[in-house]
A and B are shown apart, each in its own frame.
Chain A
Amino acid sequence: MAAAQAVEEMRTRVVLGEFGVRNVHTTDFPGNYSGYDDAWDQDRFEKNFRVDVVHMDENSLEFDMVGIDAAIANAFRRILLAEVPTMAVEKVLVYNNTSIVQDEILAHRLGLIPIHADPRLFEYRNQGDEEGTEIDTLQFRLHVRCTRNPRAAKDSSDPNELYVNHKVYTRHMTWVPLGNQADVFPEGTIRPVHDDILIAQLRPGQEIDLLMQCVKGIGKDHAKFSPVATASYRLLPDITLLEPVEGAAAEELSRCFSPGVIEVKEVQGKKVAIVANPRLDTFSREIFRHEKLKKAVRLARVRDHYIFSVESTGVLPPDVLVSEAIKVLMGKCRRFLDELDTVQMD
């Protein structure tokens, strides 16, 4: 009985010990455990797999993926960060820049501005193509000149009063449609995601006049193309009390974990600690600093339950990003399957 429990723990839980983490790697491959059939079975996978959306708003998404392995969950995370394409400023043609900000610093900053354009409607630019066509390029113009405000008070020292146009924001960027883009994209849809990003500061007499070209790219090439602010996952915590904890120790136990994880209930006049909501815990491992309590608790994580958190930069809604990431992985498999087919035809 104990041996079976130990095997189950090895197969399904990642255990956080006092000095290290145990059972980290996936071991359920065929032949490793006698009495278990671990060969890949699509029906068994489909029966055990589920997705639960916990919270979604326009820029962030939290969902659970249960019944999948770390390798595939991590592949989705890596693709969300680095291989879902977006549009970003790549080339900056500087006509006039007399501001304090150097050309290349300004160009770098412009590249990092998220551009609100659906990348699925654009193509990648062909290598060696310098000009860019309407199907692979977006153009923006930025022309700001700072002047002195003639109506400012004599002794004012507030730059907002003294100068006109001294802060260059993304709202000063105007879209220049190429070819038939004006017909395809309604007015106001192609713009930076946020209009209050400060690009540069100017003083009277300084001017910035430039033309930006945006292309489609992926995060692997440059981080400016990454569509997520971040995408991460954590495993579902699993806290078990190995022995009953009562009285003052129960109160102490509840303080060792994040609020809401351990609840102290009154049972027959005694205070008893129960595990109420382990999902909220962030595993500070405070319990290991208490000699008597650390033997009463087993800290573990459920190996195949992933709590994903995706935060989009605003280019695409986060659920669309996850769908695109899954499609990218399918595309990779299909690419190699096609390669195999072309070889086997020979």
Chain B
Amino acid sequence: MKTSMAEGERKTALEMVQAAGTDRHCVTFVLHEEDHTLGNSLRYVIMKNPEVEFCGYTTTHPSESKINLRIQTRGALPAIEPFQKGLNELMAVCQHVLDKFEASIKDYKDRKASRNEHAF
């Protein structure tokens, strides 16, 4: 049973595939136009969630640019929840990295400028 999320002619970016007979706690997400860049980092963040029993991703074929990301949760938690939580956490990590990086760059430039002033 496939549930695709697309409206009109916009290409689906994300599909959920669920095997027959299981409930919503084991789902494979098909992410289009993605590769190891998002796949591995998302897998890492989702695996850090103690409610997740299994999380793994594969690239289907090098000619196709999509990944299959499978999440199985402990208990009856719907698999879409750790997926969403993982995306939010990854965004929070990126935001924090960006803030720290820009602060560090600014700090370096200020130190360099003050060093140049002392040289004169």
Instruction: List residues of A whose CB falls within 8 A of some B CB.
Output: 26, 29-31, 38-40, 42, 45-46, 49-53, 56, 63, 65, 68-69, 71-72, 74-76, 78-79, 82-83, 319, 322-323, 326-327, 329-330, 332-337, 339-340, 342-343
Contact = CB atoms under 8 A, between A and B. Distances in A.
B76 interface: no
Interface residues of B, number: 44
B95 A69 contact: no
Given A29-B47, A82-B37, A342-B5, 6 more contacts: A30-B49, A39-B48, A50-B100, A51-B103, A330-B94, A337-B87
Contacts of A329: 37-38, 41, 90, 94
Contact of B36 (A78, A333, A337): A78
Contact of B98 (A42, A53, A56, A323): A323
Interface of B: 5, 7, 13-14, 31, 34, 36-38, 40-45, 47-50, 80, 83-84, 87-98, 100-105, 107-109, 112
B93 to A, nearest CB: 6
A45 B97 CA distance: 10
A71 B43 contact: yes
Given A49-B97, A75-B37, A323-B101, A30 B50 contact: yes
Given A71-B44, A78-B37, A342 B7 contact: yes
Contacts of A30: 48-50
A77 to B, nearest CB: 9
**A-B complex: 7 closest residue pairs judged by Cβ atoms:** A40-B48, A71-B44, A53-B108, A30-B50, A343-B5, A75-B41, A51-B104
